[in-house]
Structures are given as C-alpha cells and as structure tokens.
Structure 1
Amino acid sequence: MRAVKKINNNVAVCLDANGNELVAFGKGVGFPKMPYEITDLSRIAMTFYRVDAQTYQMLSEIPEEVLEVSAQAVLEAQRRLQGNLSPNIVFSLADHINFALERQKHYKDMKPPLDYDVKQLYPKEYEMGKYTCQLIKKELLVVLPDSEAVAIAMHFINGQQGQPEQREDDSFDDLSGRIVDFIEDYFSIKIDQDEFAFNRFLTHLRYYLKRIQSSEISDGEVNPNLLATFKKESPEVYACTQQIVNFVDGRYHTATSDDEMFYLMVYVNRIVRKLTCTEEGEE
C-alpha cells in the first residue's frame, strides 16, 4: 500500500495494490514524508474506500485527537454491537464530537435535549454513547453533559447496517422540506443535503417535533443570557428560527420553549455558517 497524502499524523490517503484510493487510519501512518510505501500493514487499524472530496475537507478540519477518539469508539462499538457498522460512522461521529466540544466551549450552560426512548429501546448503543463520553473525558479532558450520550448513541443506531430501515414519515418529509426551503430563501443559499451538518439538523428537527407533540418539551435548562447573547450576535439566525418555530407551533398547535428555540438556532446557525464561509472562501 502506498501513502500519497497526509491528513494528519494518524490518517493518510493511500492507494491499494490495484490503484484504488482509500483513507487509512493507523498510528503514525501520516507521519513520514509523502509518498511512501506502507510495508507493515499491521499499522493500519481501519481503511475506507470511496471517500468523497467533501469528507476529505471535513477530515482536514477536525483535530487529530478527535479523529483518534472517534476511531477508538467505533472499534469498541464493533466489538460490543452485533451487526456491521457503516464505515462513514467514523467520520460522522468525529464531526459530532468536534461540534459537541465546540458547543461545550462556547455554550457551557447548554444541555442538548435528552430523548429517554433511546435508553429504553437501544440500551447497548446508549452504553456505547456513555463509553464514548468517558473516552472523550479521558483523552480530550472535556466533560460533556450526560445527554450527549444519547446524541452519540444515535450515531451507533443509525450506523448499523443490515437493520430494517425506518420508513420516513410523509408528514415529516413535507414539514422538513418546507423548513429547508424557508432557510434557503431567507439566506439566499443552497443547502447541501449530503453534509453532516444538515443530517444532524434533520435528526434534531425530527426529535424536536416528537418532543413538542408528546409534551416532553425541554425548558429551564438553558441560561436565558445565552439566548439573549445569540439573538444579539446572530439576529438573522434568530429571526429565521423564530419564523420556523412559529410555523411549527401553528401547524401542531404547540408552544415551543425558549430552550427548544435555542437548540434549533444552534443547528440552523451551523448550516448557514458553513455555507457562508465556503462561499466567502470561493470569492
């Protein structure tokens, strides 16, 4: 195997014996000067084929230590969980962990909504979520809120191959489609629906709708000053999210709390920020 491009010290783009491109994870595989031949294949822990350019860009933006924690967690999940995991879970989980660390740094008082069904229906995956949080604490010295175990567990639930696929609800498809159209029109952008940030937004949106319809609304957990600060620093995101909330509450005759409003703002902001930063970089 020939390493041709360094992502970081432990991740490299390689060519196999047939000239096919892959991403290799392994201790020190990206350290030597490129290109070079990897003769000791035991150094490689995981390989991933058909990685697109978007994922390469994401990998370059995620700190090396975060990728390493994600890889360790997935290796442990492969041992604990029955069935095969999608290879993309390493990338999506790393992106989620990086986002969680960023959120913890800037919004310490924010605790993601906890979905109790995950604990009951997917105990093994929930235990993997707890394990990953402990791994983050040990390796990255960051203590995430307990509710992050649920969010991380969702990656292991969704990443299992060979499981019966859950059928998308037509009403959710319609609602999410209208919300996406609204965000695109409001900011004059085109959302890449293959992006990790968008998929995370969609997952959050689904559980937000479940919570408000079942009256399990998160409230009183977010420091009111956070919402006020976000509104001041990102008035357009606030106004856009407020209109989304008004649309949802009008449709379901619900009353979205300030906590839920804040959580939704964070996800909308990340989609918009990623797109606007990309467009500015291309100018």
Structure 2
Amino acid sequence: MIIEKIINNNIVLTHDHKNKEIIAMGKGIGFGRKKGDSLSESEIEKVFRIKENEMLLKFQDMIADIPIERITLTDDVISYAINVEKLKLSQSIYLTLVDHVNFAIERFKEGMTPENALMWEIKRFYPQEYALGLYTLRLINDRIGLSLPDSEAGFIALHFVNAQYSTHMKETLSLPHLMRDIMDIVKSELNVELNENSIHYERFVTHVKFLIQRLYRNEMLHDDDTIFEDMMKEKYPEEFECGKRIAEYIEVETRSKITRMEMTYLAIHIKRVTMAEE
C-alpha cells in the first residue's frame, strides 16, 4: 500500500488491493512518514471504507484531532450494531457518532452532564437503539475509565435512529414525540388503554416506525387496491377513521403526504392492537 495522505501520527489515507480509497488506522503508522511511502497491512489495526467522497473528506478532517482510542471504540460500537443487532445504517453514522462520542467525553470531563428531555420516549419507542447507547457507555467506562450518565445513552440512540431513517437530526429529534402522540391519538379516539408490554403493541409500534421511515425515504405504498380500502372502511369504520386521523397528524408534522394504502394498513394494525385490549 502507498500512503496518499498523512492525517495524523496514527491515521493515513491509502488504497486497498482493489484500488479503493480507504482510511487506515494504527498506532504510529503515520509517524515520520510522508506521501508516497509504503505501508504494510500488518501495521493497520482499523480500516474505514467510506464511499461518498464528500463524506470521506469530512471524516478525514474530523478524526485528525480525535484520540485514536475514541475512534476505535466508536467503530466497535457501529460494527456491533451492524453485525450483531443487524441494523441497516447509512455511512453518516461514522461522522455523527465519532463526533458525538468525542464531544460527550470532553463535556463530561469538564463537568457538564446535560439532561435529555426525550429519555422516556426514547426508551419506550427505540429500546434497541437505547440499548446500543448503554453499550457505548459501558465501553467508554471499560476502556477510558469514565462513567457517563444514562442521558448520554439517549443522545447516542438518536444517532442510530438518524442513521436508519436517513433524516436530518432535527427531524430525528421529532420522532419520539411523533410516536408518543400517535399512541395518544389511538387511546383518545377509540377510548382504549394500550398494554405496552404486549406483542400486539410492539408490532403496532414497529409498523408505525416503518411507515415513518418509508415516508422519509419516499417509499410509500401505492394506491392500487381501492377494494381493500373500501372493505376496511365498511367493516372497521372507527379504526379506519382513527387511521385517517393519525395520517392527517403525520402529514401536518412532517409536511409530507401519506397514501391511502398506507392509511388502510395503519387501520388494520390499529384494529389488531385494540382487539388485544378488549
């Protein structure tokens, strides 16, 4: 391998055997070297393959001043999320999470422990992502010796939500409130209490999350089955109206249009979750 750029003493830009540009990391691999020097694979501890050129440039600039152990730790968390938790994440997670972990450690060392106003909603609607946040805090404690507060797990969880939905952080911050309000609409419109520990509730929450994900990705179900819609409207009028009410709320909050087919499937899941509570 030939070094293309020295980022710092521990990180360089080079190419792999397929001539793909990569960021290689290892203790001292950039020390005393210059562009054009050779680099053996045995010296490399971590490799980052970022496809988008603009993102690659941003990542290079960002990690130049971040301690190597924080970058390695964050990469291990992302690998765990992808390989063990099976999350599908956009590559933006490398930028956002490395930056956040570094920032969280720095502000904790300065005595700042911010409250997270969304903790209750994050734990309730994004338990997998919150668990990843707690996993990150355990690694920070084990490897760096700092015990960050659980509120940081909530902030970290939002970065994983953001990387799955491919949204801007401003939109991601609104998702927990959106989920909470949707559940409140169901309870209010149909006068029912929902068992948050039931499998039906879990499936309903999952459906709503995927609906919102499809909305942001512009992958809405198409309106190609009006017969099915008419049948639901006739057979389950209350649930259909509740689905319509939720769709209208989501449209206002996200400034996007929900298809009638999506609304119909929403009504089906509303019927299932409310039947379980009767």
**Shorter-chain TM-score tier:** 0.5 to 0.7
Corresponding residue number in structure 1 for 2:138:
134
Corresponding residue number in structure 2 for 1:103:
107
One-letter amino acid of the counterpart of residue 152, structure 2 = E
SS in 1 for 2:128: helix
Cα distance in 2 for residues equivalent to 1:61 and 1:207? 32
Alignment of 1:158-173 (within 5 A): 158-160=162-164, 165=165
SS in 2 for 1:23: strand
Alignment of 1:252-267 (within 5 A): none
Alignment of 1:1-283 (within 5 A): 1-17=1-17, 19-26=19-26, 29-31=29-31, 33-35=33-35, 36-40=37-41, 43-49=44-50, 50-52=52-54, 53-160=57-164, 165=165, 200=169, 203-204=172-173, 206=174
One-letter amino acid of the counterpart of residue 71, structure 2 = L
One-letter amino acid of the counterpart of residue 47, structure 1 = F
**Structure 1 residues 210 and 125: alpha-carbon distance in aligned structure 2, compared to 1, 3 A threshold:** closer
One-letter amino acid of the counterpart of residue 56, structure 1 = Q
1:28-48: per-residue Cα shift (whole Å, max 9, x none)? 544562343344379453322
Deviation at 1:138, TM superposition (A): 1.8
SS in 1 for 2:7: strand
Normalised by the size of structure 2, how large is the TM-score?
0.52
Deviation at 1:84, TM superposition (A): 3.3
Tell whether the 8 Å contact from 1:23 to 1:51 is kept in structure 2 after alignment: no
Tell whether the 8 Å contact from 1:104 to 1:110 is kept in structure 2 after alignment: no
Normalised by the size of structure 1, how large is the TM-score?
0.51
1:111-146: per-residue Cα shift (whole Å, max 9, x none)? 333432322333222211101011111222222111
Cα distance in 1 for residues equivalent to 2:169 and 2:108? 17
Tell whether the 8 Å contact from 1:4 to 1:12 is kept in structure 2 after alignment: yes
**Alignment length, in residue pairs?**
179
When Rg is computed on C-alpha atoms for both structures, the one with the higher figure is 2
One-letter amino acid of the counterpart of residue 140, structure 1 = I
With 32-41 and 55-64 compared, the bigger mean Cα shift is at 32-41
Where does the alignment leave 5 or more consecutive residues of structure 1 unmatched?
Answer: 169-198, 215-283
Cα distance in 1 for residues equivalent to 2:66 and 2:131? 25
1:212-252: per-residue Cα shift (whole Å, max 9, x none)? x99xxxxxxxxxxxxxxxxxxxxxxxxxxxxxxxxxxxxxx
One-letter amino acid of the counterpart of residue 21, structure 2 = E
Where does the alignment leave 5 or more consecutive residues of structure 2 unmatched?
Answer: 183-278
RMSD: 3.5
1:167-217: per-residue Cα shift (whole Å, max 9, x none)? x8xxxxxxxxxxxxxxxxxxxxxxxxxxxxxx556655x379779x99xxx
